[in-house]
Amino acid sequence: MAGNIVQEKGVNEYGDGVAWIRGSVIGKGGFGCVYLATLKNPRSKYSCLPPVMAVKSAEVSISGSIQKEVEILNNFKGCPNIVRCLGEETTMSDNGVMAYNLLLEYGSGGTLADRIKKSGGNGLPEFEARAYAKSILKGLNYVHSFGFVHCDLKPDNILLVPKAGRGGITEFRAKISDFGLAKKANRSKKRKLEPYWKGTPMYLSPEAVIDKVQEAPCDIWALGCIVLEMLTGKPPWHVETELKKSEEILGKIGKRNALPKIPTGISKEAKDFLKGCFVRKTAYRLTTEMLLNHAFVEGLDVDDDEDIYDD
C-alpha cells in the first residue's frame, strides 16, 4: 500500500501480529484502515517477511471484502506488476477487539496519484507515463488472463515500488493494488447485468454507467483515464467541465458519443493509444494484448529488476 503516512491516535486498536508491530495509519477506506507495520526482529534470518509492510485491517465481523481480496490476490502470485500479498493473520487488541489483517508489500514511492499531484498540474514527462502505463498494462493483462476484472483502476490504486537496480527508465515500478471490488469476468455470451456499478465515477466506462456491465473492457477505459491523467496532470473530463458531483460525472459519461478530450501537446503515439482505450463500443476497444504491442509502450524494458523493500 501507499507511502503517505498519517499519524493518528489509537493506531494499535487492533493489536500487533506475531512477528510485526502495527504503526501509523497510512490509508482509509470502506473496508477499514491500512497501517504501516515493521518487524519485531528485522534482523532475524528466519523471517520470510520484509522489514516494512502495509497491513490492511478490519474487525473480523466486517472483514469480508478484505478476505475476498486475499483470495483474489492468491491467484496473481509471481506477477511483478501486482502488489504482493504477504499473508494474513488474525490479531487481538488489549480491549478484546479481534481483527483480520492482510499483509501487503509497502509502496514507499506512494501512489501514482501522489506522483501526479507532485507535478503541480503539469503532468508527468511522457517517458515516465509510458513506463508506468506499460507496467500497469502487464499487470492488467495478468489479471484478465485469470478471468478477473479489477473494476476500480485509478491512480490511487497504483502503487510505486522501488526497483533493485539503479538503471532503467524510472526509479519505481507501478503495481496494481486494491482488489476489493474485483470480480470474476462473465464469460457467457449473454452478459448478466450488475445491480449497480462498482468503482469510482470519474474512471467508469460508458457501459458501466449506462448498462451496469463491467467486464475486461471497462478496465481498459479506466487505464486510458489513468494515462490521460498522467500526461495532463488532471483527471478525465476535467477539460470539458469542472465536474465535482458524482451525478454530473456520470451524466457526462453516459451522454451519447461523449469522450474525454485528448490533448494536442502529446505525441502521436500517445494520442493513438488513448483513442484505442476511449472507444464507447466495447467490441472495438483495444485489449491488453493489443495495447502491449502499441508503439506508445512497445520496446520499453520496465521490469528487468527485482523489487526491493525500504527499511
pLDDT per residue over 30-56, tens digit each?
788 999 999 999 887 667 899 999 999
Rounded to whole angstroms, the Cα distance separating 148 from 65 reads 16
Q: What is the 3-state secondary structure (H, E, C) of 57-111?
A: EEEHHHCHHHHHHHHHHHHHCCCCCECCEEEEEEEECCCCCEEEEEEEECCCCCE
Residue 133, classified by CB atoms within 10 Å of its CB into exposed (0-12), middle (13-18) or buried (19+), is buried
| Residue 190: predicted pLDDT | 60
The total number of structural domains in the chain stands at 2
283 and 143, same structural domain? yes
271 and 127, same structural domain? yes
> Residue 53: in which H helix or E strand, if any?
strand 52-59
| Residue 69: predicted pLDDT | 95
Q: Which residues pair with 39 in a beta bridge?
A: 20
| Residue 249: predicted pLDDT | 87
| Residue 242: predicted pLDDT | 52
| Residue 10: predicted pLDDT | 45
- Cα distances (angstroms) measured from residue 100 to each of 30, 59, 89, 182: 15, 6, 6, 19
| Residue 241: predicted pLDDT | 47
Rounded to whole angstroms, the Cα distance separating 99 from 97 reads 6
Q: Is 307 a catalytic residue?
A: no
Q: Which of 152, 178, 219, 303 is catalytic?
A: 152
Indicate the SS3 state at residue 163: strand
| Residue 47: predicted pLDDT | 77
CA 92 to chain centroid, in Å, comes to 29
Q: Which domain holds residue 46?
A: 20-105
276 and 160, same structural domain? yes
116 and 250, same structural domain? yes
- Residue finishing a domain among 73, 105, 137: 105
| Residue 7: predicted pLDDT | 39
Q: Is 164 among the domain residues?
A: yes
222 and 162, same structural domain? yes
Indicate the SS3 state at residue 183: strand
233 and 164, same structural domain? yes
CA 32 to chain centroid, in Å, comes to 17
Phi, psi torsion values for 279, nearest 5 degrees: -115, 120
In CATH, what number is assigned to the domain containing residue 122? 1.10.510.10
| Residue 308: predicted pLDDT | 43
| Residue 192: predicted pLDDT | 62
Which stretches in the chain have pLDDT values below 70?
Answer: 1-11, 45-46, 165-168, 188-193, 195, 239-244, 302-311
User: Which triple of cell numbers denotes residue 69?
Assistant: 481480496
Rounded to whole angstroms, the Cα distance separating 282 from 136 reads 20
Rounded to whole angstroms, the Cα distance separating 7 from 135 reads 31
pTM: 0.89
187 and 64, same structural domain? no
- Cα distances (angstroms) measured from residue 183 to each of 36, 73, 150, 151: 27, 12, 7, 7
Query: Known binder of ligand: residue 56?
Result: yes
| Residue 82: predicted pLDDT | 98
185 and 69, same structural domain? no
User: Which triple of cell numbers denotes residue 150?
Assistant: 479489477
| Residue 188: predicted pLDDT | 64
For residues 277 and 224, is the Cβ–Cβ distance under 8 A? Answer: yes
